[in-house]
Amino acid sequence: MKGKLYITATPIGNLNEMSPRAIETLKSVDIILCEDSSHSKKLTRHFNINTPLKSYHKFSEAKSIPDIINQLNSGKNIALISDAGMPTISDPGARLV
């Protein structure tokens, strides 16, 4: 069974604008790919999300994709977030998607 990739929006400003569905998703996946782990730790701590964070930014994007695809193919569920907003437009993620 293949895993799923969840493209997950994060608040642009106020952390309380995070949707309950996004919080549930981040708690339920196996890994969260994030643009900046120090920034994303603030978000995960605020919502008591204990899912491991893995750095995924424009400098590591091309090199990381084969491993991410392998993890998805092996059944892992992965969420992709950016520092703020919806990933993939001007943030890392377009190549992966």
User: What DSSP designation does 52 have?
Assistant: P
Q: Find the angle CA(66)-CA(44)-CA(30) to the nearest 5 degrees.
A: 35
Nearest CA to 31 out of 58, 2, 3 is that of 3
Mean pLDDT of 45-72: 91
For position 36, what pLDDT does the model report?
82
Report the 10 Å Cβ neighbour count for 2.
10
What are the Cα distances from residue 11, in Å, to 58, 71, 75? 20, 27, 28
Summarised one tens digit per residue, pLDDT across range 61-81 is 788 999 999 999 999 999 999
pTM: 0.88
* Rounded mean pLDDT, 42-63: 90
pLDDT digits (tens, 9 = 90+) for 10-38: 888 788 889 999 999 999 999 999 988 88
